[in-house]
Amino acid sequence: MRRTRAGFEPGASAAKKIGARQAYDALLVQACAALEVEHRLLSLPEGLDREIERLRVEDRLRDLGLSV
């Protein structure tokens, strides 16, 4: 999913990019719930802090054996 988010064609609409980010975050939140990983994805506004949290969560999920 991360590759899909990063691979938009030039000129892709903002709505498409926002939708993909929201869908990706929803999947991360589900994975965190299943593996009991704490996260702040739902409380951080869009921006650098939230992107850093995504990266942190992805690393933690990978450490637990999930392919992200």
Tell me: the pLDDT tens digits for 6-42?
Answer: 677 788 898 988 888 999 999 999 999 999 999 999 9
Token output for 13: 């609409």
- Count Cβ atoms below 10 Å from residue 20 Cβ, excluding itself: 18
pTM of the predicted structure, to 2 decimals: 0.83
pLDDT of residue 11: 84
Cα separations (Å) of 55 from 3, 9, 21, 25? Answer: 13, 23, 13, 11
Residue 27 near residue 1 (C-beta atoms within 8 A)? yes
Confidence of residue 50 (pLDDT cuts 50, 70, 90): very high
pLDDT of residue 18: 87
Residue 4, pLDDT > 80, answer no
Enumerate residues 6+ apart whose C-beta is below 8 A from 4. 20
